[in-house]
A and B are shown apart, each in its own frame.
Chain A
């Protein structure tokens, strides 16, 4: 067993190794005077940066004596930064957090449960929509609170001009209809694409295979998080659907090659007009309205498969939240910031932040689509789509499991394995990971 000093020194060295990998932007209000300075890590990049600064400044105004060092970190490096900081005993006071990362951090008690704070301040779980609160608990305790619009709602965004040009009047309801529509919308010469109708292997908010399995009526993991449930008829149908869609797009290689130049987020394929239908999260509304206000589009629930049903479409697999790491320097003040970011209706708190982005609010008393007293014209249809989303259980080995599922899809689409073999191998591989996790942390 290593002595604690050695352990800390070791972790410090790991932190030093990690620092060059991360690009951080830190902003602290020079006018703020206080005895306590909270370190707050988040991943709100792009056009959300000024909103974050405004929200944090208003928190400081409402909480004299508390200042915030507002640090933007890239999402991709979140785990190594956070793990090293927690282990070194120098974590941020508050950090943005993937709810799918919760089981490991909660099982190792690397974060602080929030139930006592919530009870003391009267923050009831009932103020959040049940689907948004679902991924915040583990072993009967609440570890994180959902951030505004954090739910990875999955919505089909489609270019209505493309639909009109192709003479398509109605958005597809089923996978068969989706395949037909995608082929009609695709433009290409038989080998190379000029426009893609739909790419089933690129969906926002969740792993592509698990997304389609969900819309085919099947969870990929059991509710108790102990059993993988993909090797079944629904799994076969799901891979067949993804395979057919890739064939429409002249095969997996051309589909990927086209997609790699399509860009992301502010430069995404929907915004560039390179795709007719895109399945993405609720954040797309803000992206489209900020960067492509001339785009004619509409939204719809994602189509369902032969084993699915019309009332179960996209998946909410946890989304994101805010939490307080163990060994945070100022946990009581950190709770005030968490509450401001997640539960505050007044001022530039949680409700204001979500309204600026026009996203569905996890707070029951906040209309996320309301801005300057007027609700967004698409609010009703977006909320209608959200109502058909299914809450998918969060796996404790999510990152590796997602990578294995992506590999399975590639194996099938490249023709390396039969669908049946790919499903069986993948289920066994992820099951082994899950069993090992529960053996150690269960």
Chain B
């Protein structure tokens, strides 16, 4: 088996060498220049993505306090995470709530906004800018603004809800509402989803709508029978992007609650961060193990979505 693989590999290398020999001097120079131009990206990926990726995997099997070389301890961290870390499950559950809530909000709201802004309303550019701008504001500044908006005593949201007779909500002090507060805050980034949906909507040919109208389809039927099926590739992309992003929620929670109250907002990455950078001695190996478990979870979700996409994603031209 090994010999067969070895001979196949040698033969492949031989063919590549032959192909390289057959190239004209100009093509060879072009190839070298191409590699030279792409080298910063290759070096960047190797150094800042691939190396940390592999290193964190190795570190997850070590005890590592940063100031001394790591000590190999095998799978002890993984065993501890699954058997002796109550905050692992708690933070995973909180993250799950955030992922399901925020992804649903961003997809539904982003799609609805894109539909509205794909019509011929006045000041279209202005509306698109207004909805998109919050997503490019630095998250630290956003967090401070949201702390005021969601302030229990003098916050804008409680004031607004008061008009509907809704009593004052202690957003960040009540464990039942703290994560909901972050879901409300997640609407800030709906502009990104909206822009991707808008691009998708503008790619749908008008002829389909014309044909549907001739067939007597009303607005809702056109949305359900034409728009949504043709938008499934964009929905698919947005769902993937948002799920991967939402699993890694950290900064706003670190700034605004630090996981309180009662660990109701302690998300997975916050838990990981605490072990790496907040506790003494630092537990970098343990954090790496937590990071790899998160990677596997995100990978599994992504794989399921990709695998099931053939059933619900439709591409123009008939290919699924």
A50 within 8 A of B: no
Whether A260 and B147, one on each chain, are in contact in the complex, defined by CB atoms closer than 8 angstroms, is: yes
B51 within 8 A of A: yes
Question: What is the interface of chain B mostly: helix, strand, loop, or mixed?
Answer: loop
Known contacts A104-B280, A257-B153, A258-B153: does B70 contact A2 (CB below 8 Å)? yes
Q: Name the residue of chain B whose CB is nearest to the CB of A411.
A: B262
B55 within 8 A of A: yes
Known contacts A261-B151, A400-B279: does B173 contact A9 (CB below 8 Å)? no
Interface-lining segment among A36-44, A145-153, A275-283, A391-399: A391-399
Whether B280 and A87, one on each chain, are in contact in the complex, defined by CB atoms closer than 8 angstroms, is: no
Q: How far is the CA of A18 from the CA of B174 in the complex (A)?
A: 31
Interface string of A411-442 (1 = CB under 8 A from B): 10010100000000000000000000100110
A329 within 8 A of B: no
Interface-lining segment among B9-17, B60-68, B187-195, B301-309: B60-68
Q: How far is the CA of A396 from the CA of B59 in the complex (A)?
A: 24
User: Which residues of B have CB within 8 Å of A13?
Assistant: 47-48, 51-52, 55
User: Which residues of A have CB within 8 Å of B153?
Assistant: 192, 257-258, 261
Contact of B66 among A9, A11, A398, A441 (CB under 8 A): A11
Q: How far is the CA of A397 from the CA of B275 in the complex (A)?
A: 12
Q: How far is the CA of A75 from the CA of B262 in the complex (A)?
A: 24
Contact of A414 among B172, B175, B276 (CB under 8 A): B175
Interface string of B140-161 (1 = CB under 8 A from A): 0000000100011110000000
Whether B68 and A108, one on each chain, are in contact in the complex, defined by CB atoms closer than 8 angstroms, is: yes
Question: What is the interface of chain A mostly: helix, strand, loop, or mixed?
Answer: helix
User: Which residues of B have CB within 8 Å of A183?
Assistant: none
CB distance from B120 to the nearest CB of A (A): 42
Interface-lining segment among A78-86, A225-233, A365-373: A78-86
Whether A101 and B67, one on each chain, are in contact in the complex, defined by CB atoms closer than 8 angstroms, is: no
Known contacts A87-B67, A256-B261, A410-B261: does B280 contact A396 (CB below 8 Å)? yes
CB distance from B287 to the nearest CB of A (A): 11
Known contacts A14-B66, A83-B66, A87-B66: does B170 contact A256 (CB below 8 Å)? yes
Whether A108 and B280, one on each chain, are in contact in the complex, defined by CB atoms closer than 8 angstroms, is: no
Whether A260 and B55, one on each chain, are in contact in the complex, defined by CB atoms closer than 8 angstroms, is: no
Q: How far is the CA of A252 from the CA of B172 in the complex (A)?
A: 12
Whether A410 and B66, one on each chain, are in contact in the complex, defined by CB atoms closer than 8 angstroms, is: no
User: Which residues of A have CB within 8 Å of B174?
Assistant: 253, 257
User: Which residues of A have CB within 8 Å of B281?
Assistant: 104, 108, 397, 437, 440-441
Chain A: how many interface residues by the 8 Å CB criterion? 48
B168 within 8 A of A: yes
Q: How far is the CA of A308 from the CA of B168 in the complex (A)?
A: 40
CB distance from A239 to the nearest CB of B (A): 16
Interface string of A3-19 (1 = CB under 8 A from B): 00001011101101110
A356 within 8 A of B: no
Q: How far is the CA of A252 from the CA of B280 in the complex (A)?
A: 29
Known contacts A256-B261, A257-B153: does B277 contact A80 (CB below 8 Å)? yes
Q: How far is the CA of A104 from the CA of B281 in the complex (A)?
A: 6
Q: Name the residue of chain A whose CB is nearest to the CB of B147.
A: A260
CB distance from A228 to the nearest CB of B (A): 16
User: Which residues of B have CB within 8 Å of A60?
Assistant: none
CB distance from A119 to the nearest CB of B (A): 27
Whether B69 and A254, one on each chain, are in contact in the complex, defined by CB atoms closer than 8 angstroms, is: no
Whether A84 and B152, one on each chain, are in contact in the complex, defined by CB atoms closer than 8 angstroms, is: no
A407 within 8 A of B: yes
B278 within 8 A of A: yes
Whether B152 and A399, one on each chain, are in contact in the complex, defined by CB atoms closer than 8 angstroms, is: no
Whether B280 and A399, one on each chain, are in contact in the complex, defined by CB atoms closer than 8 angstroms, is: yes
B282 within 8 A of A: yes
Whether A414 and B55, one on each chain, are in contact in the complex, defined by CB atoms closer than 8 angstroms, is: no
Q: How far is the CA of A127 from the CA of B201 in the complex (A)?
A: 75
Whether A260 and B66, one on each chain, are in contact in the complex, defined by CB atoms closer than 8 angstroms, is: no
User: Which residues of B have CB within 8 Å of A108?
Assistant: 65, 67-68, 281
Whether A110 and B67, one on each chain, are in contact in the complex, defined by CB atoms closer than 8 angstroms, is: yes
A120 within 8 A of B: no
Whether A254 and B170, one on each chain, are in contact in the complex, defined by CB atoms closer than 8 angstroms, is: yes
* Residue of A11, A14, A110, A257 with most chain B CB atoms under a 10 A cut-off: A257
A1 within 8 A of B: yes
Q: Which of A115-149 contact B (CB under 8 A)?
A: none
Whether B278 and A260, one on each chain, are in contact in the complex, defined by CB atoms closer than 8 angstroms, is: no
Q: Name the residue of chain A whose CB is nearest to the CB of B148.
A: A261
Q: Name the residue of chain A whose CB is nearest to the CB of B62.
A: A2
Contact of A16 among B48, B147, B175, B280 (CB under 8 A): B48
Q: Name the residue of chain B whose CB is nearest to the CB of A193.
A: B153
Whether A416 and B262, one on each chain, are in contact in the complex, defined by CB atoms closer than 8 angstroms, is: yes
Which residues does B use to contact A, with CB under 8 Å? 47-48, 51-52, 55, 59, 65-70, 72, 147, 151-154, 168, 170-175, 260-263, 274, 276-282, 284
17 residue pairs bridging A and B, Cβ less than 8 Å apart:
A1-B69, A2-B69, A7-B69, A14-B66, A14-B284, A80-B277, A87-B66, A104-B281, A110-B67, A253-B170, A256-B260, A257-B170, A397-B281, A400-B274, A400-B280, A414-B261, A414-B262
